[in-house]
Amino acid sequence: GAVVSQHPSRVICKSGTSVKIECRSLDFQATTMFWYRQFPKQSLMLMATSNEGSKATYEQGVEKDKFLINHASLTLSTLTVTSAHPEDSSFYICSARGDIPYEQYFGPGTRLTVT
Amino acid sequence: KNEVEQSPQNLTAQEGEFITINCSYSVGISALHWLQQHPGGGIVSLFMLSSGKKKHGRLIATINIQEKHSSLHITASHPRDSAVYICAVPLKYSGGGADGLTFGKGTHLIIQP
């Protein structure tokens, strides 16, 4: 149980375009999902916390107008990178929290390359 | 905010050796996570623990809440254990369990045959 999927696993897009990444909890309901990113040779960093039915909470330094998060249902959160630039190229990972306190289940990640 | 320190950063060992990776954090936590990341990037959750010790196969994780320290051990290491091992704790301890994580820089482990 407790499987989280992400789609797509890899995406290459041109500078200036927008890219949407989906994060789904497949066999449980996730009231809270987290979005992280990892630049090459760096640690994972929390970008935002996504709560179903409410606005996401962004960490300091993360532009909310650039990284649009929508958590429209208990099984789906989406991250849209708007007007992507090469510096947005990164590995984006989501995690989802179920009913068990403190547990987080990670998705497989999405590698974004902006050319 | 919590800060995480991991050691060692890099570790190369021979197959069969006992491996220890250490993690220290700065602020009280609800739970600590040990994760494994392979070259492709995917994250596998190994352990989540809030006290004591957990064991899964050849992996053992311990935590000392008072000392704010955790260790991950691998017994009878094998080349397939080669990966990056990452320690993570809640970024901001709220006690509510819905906390995003902050991560250590990871330990790059290579097990040679």
For chain A (length 115 residues), average pLDDT per consecutive 10?
90 97 93 92 91 88 93 92 96 88 86 96
CA distance A18 to chain B (A): 23
What's the half-sphere exposure (Cβ side, CA atoms, 13 Å) at A44? 32
Q: Give Cβ neighbours of residue A40 (< 8 Å, ≥ 6 apart).
A: none
pLDDT category of residue B93 using cuts at 50, 70 and 90: low
Residues of A in contact with B89 (CB under 8 A): none
pLDDT greater than 60 at residue B107? yes
Computed over every residue of chain B, the mean pLDDT equals 90
DSSP B99: P
Residues of B in contact with A45 (CB under 8 A): 102-103
CA distance B63 to chain A (A): 15
Facing A104 at nearest CB: one of B41, B101, B106 = B101
pLDDT (0 to 100) of residue A1 = 64
* Closest by CA position to A34, among listed A19, A44, A42: A44
The rounded distance, in Å, linking the Cα atoms of A90 and A83 is 15
Tens digits of residue pLDDT in B29-81? 778 999 999 887 788 889 999 899 999 999 999 999 999 999 999 999 999 99
B70 and A CB contact within 8 Å: no
* Phi-psi domain of A41 (left: phi exceeds 0; alpha: psi -120 through 50; beta: other): left
